[in-house]
Amino acid sequence: MSNPTPQSPVALITGASRGIGKACAHAFAQVPYRLSLFSRSISTSDVADLPFEPEFYAGSVSSEEDVNAWVESSFTHFGQIDVLVLNAGIGHFGSISELSMPSIREVMEVNVAGSFQVLKAVLPHMKKAGKGHVICVTSDVAKRTFAGGSAYCASKYAQHAMLDALRQEAYAYGVRVSEILPGLTATHFADGDPREPEKQAWLQAADVADAVRYVAQAPAHMVIDRLELHPVMQHY
């Protein structure tokens, strides 16, 4: 493994303080990509175990100001954006009668509006360059639902539709669009603890990150539209 050079490609990753996003940072560092990482709480301690120091910015995908400041500072620093990993996401679960409107709004605000917000900041740079790759971590519940998952599933279906429409817009200016649909993954998602014994049989964050890196490394003439993965133990 070597450190990135000024010729190395540049990846921007949201939700990179832990879980799948952090694992993506590690997977991309192996290539190596130059990295710019984003999440609300990301700090030096979250990036200390990477093999080189990445750029990072603490902010919310729900904030236009935060997102624009992150993307512009990344572009100013690197001069290019090759890959965007749209990964930040949250989930609130419960029946529709139990879920509060603030919880429902927060899921839609972060997962859906937040994804649009980041795309609106990044796409002009990719469009100008005539190339780029948007890779979004949605979910296997972007295509199916379950009781108690109305808000989360609705947000993931919405991301899926957003990506399908983007694919039809962006091919005209050379930008590739890929969707990663993971099943159960052992992370801190929804206040989970990835160390719980039953989660050892789930996908690990590094499994999903390897899939994201694989999709990012497809030859320039090829795009993997969708990649769905789930643990063998998951039946649905």
Among 9, 10, 12, 14, binds ligand NJP (CB under 6 A): 14
CA distance 186 to 122: 29
| Residues binding ligand NJP: number (CB under 6 A) | 32
Q: Which residue has the tokens 């694992």?
A: 23
H/E element holding 58? strand 55-58
Among 89, 104, 176, 213, binds ligand NJP (CB under 6 A): 89
Q: Residue 115 interacts with ligand NJP (CB under 6 A)?
A: no
Q: Residue 29 interacts with ligand NJP (CB under 6 A)?
A: no
CB of 6 to ligand NJP, least distance (A): 28
CA distance 142 to 132: 24
Instruction: State which residue, 150 or 185, has the beta carbon closest to ligand NJP.
Output: 185
Q: Residue 184 interacts with ligand NJP (CB under 6 A)?
A: yes
Using the contact rule CB under 6 A, the part of the chain among 35-43, 71-79, 116-124, 220-228 near ligand NJP is: 35-43
Instruction: State which residue, 126 or 135, has the beta carbon closest to ligand NJP.
Output: 135
Among 35, 61, 118, 158, binds ligand NJP (CB under 6 A): 61
Q: Which residue has the tokens 């990993």?
A: 85
Q: Residue 178 interacts with ligand NJP (CB under 6 A)?
A: no
Instruction: State which residue, 58 or 129, has the beta carbon closest to ligand NJP.
Output: 58
CB of 234 to ligand NJP, least distance (A): 10
Among 10, 11, 39, 82, binds ligand NJP (CB under 6 A): 39
Q: Residue 9 interacts with ligand NJP (CB under 6 A)?
A: no
DSSP string of 135-166, one letter each residue = EEE--GGGS---TT-HHHHHHHHHHHHHHHHH
* Radius of gyration, alpha carbons of the chain: 17
Q: Residue 118 interacts with ligand NJP (CB under 6 A)?
A: no
Q: Which of 159, 162, 133 is nearest to 223 (CA)?
A: 133
Specify burial of residue 192 (Cβ count, 10 A radius: 0-12, 13-18, 19+): middle
Q: Which of 15, 65, 63 is nearest to 38 (CA)?
A: 15
CA distance 184 to 26: 20
Instruction: State which residue, 40 or 131, has the beta carbon closest to ligand NJP.
Output: 40
Residues in 149-168 that interact with ligand NJP by CB under 6 A:
none
What spatial distance separates the first Cα and last Cα of the chain, rounded to whole Å? 39
Interacting residues with ligand NJP (CB under 6 A): 14-21, 39-42, 60-62, 87-90, 110, 114, 137, 139-141, 182-185, 187-189
